[in-house]
Amino acid sequence: MTPDGSILAGEGLHKTYGRTTALDGADFSVHPGEVVAVMGPSGSGKSTLLHCLAGIVRPDSGSVRYDGRELTTLPDAERSALRRTDFGFVFQFGQLVPELTCLENVALPLRLNGTKRKIAEATAREWLARLEADDIHGKRPGEISGGQGQRVAVARALAGRPRVLFADEPTGALDSLNGERVLTLLTDAARDTSAAVVLVTHEPRVAAYSDREITVRDGRVRESLAGL
């Protein structure tokens, strides 16, 4: 576990919510183009680790370094800006804005970055095609299936060309065939763009799409050295 050459690394992360300790000295690092699965039982702190690494949540102590910058001391606005420009996100469900069309949903992060609408939507169109979802541009999230919705979400996460893609149970709500297809598309696209992927999952079959996995247990990371 050497952070050398890593694009994102967390060290000694602690985070408590009220009385519950979510993270208790967790370490983590990921290299550009690497897909790391974060596994562990529910409640082990996987999601909290992701939130800390992505700068969504500020850890109580410890450091998160992204591309040479310390995230934990960055003001909220700058962390938000970083999430807009450098990170991408896919969640399990409920992430698409129900009022916007699929195309607009994919274009949303680009537009948040200040990209012109036309350009953003053209890019969004390409990504939807790449994720085999080019027939649902004008539809709203309520009118499409879960698999399609997840493709839209992945397209949205990748459209901004993030350097780190955070995926929290991205296939949790999908059947295995759809889930595997989405995972294949996601990891292929991420590798093509050399984006690092932090893939939070409790499913071994999902974790199998990673290059490496770590396990979070009781707020600590157990990185298995086997197979190295």
Residue 80 sits in the site that holds other proteins (CB under 8 A): yes
For residues 104 and 86, what is the distance between their CA atoms, to the nearest angstrom?
Answer: 20
Of 105, 121, 133, 110, give the one whose Cα is nearest residue 189.
133
Residue 148 sits in the site that holds other proteins (CB under 8 A): no
Among the listed ranges 3-11, 62-70, 95-103, 190-198, the one in contact with other proteins (CB under 8 A) is 95-103
Among the listed ranges 25-33, 50-58, 67-75, 126-134, the one in contact with other proteins (CB under 8 A) is 50-58
Among 26, 71, 106, 109, the residue binding other proteins under the rule CB under 8 A is 109
Residue 122 sits in the site that holds other proteins (CB under 8 A): no
Total residues contacting other proteins by CB under 8 A comes to 53
Where would I find the beta strands (DSSP E) of 19-127? Answer: 20-30, 35-39, 61-66, 69-70, 87-90
For residues 127 and 166, which CB has a smaller minimum distance to other proteins in the complex? Answer: 166
SS3 content of the chain, % helix, strand, coil (to 5): 35, 25, 40
Residue 154 sits in the site that holds other proteins (CB under 8 A): no
Among 9, 30, 54, 196, the residue binding other proteins under the rule CB under 8 A is 54
Among 9, 13, 31, 51, the residue binding other proteins under the rule CB under 8 A is 51
By CB atoms closer than 10 A (0-12, 13-18, 19+), residue 156 is buried
Question: What letter represents residue 91's amino acid?
Answer: F
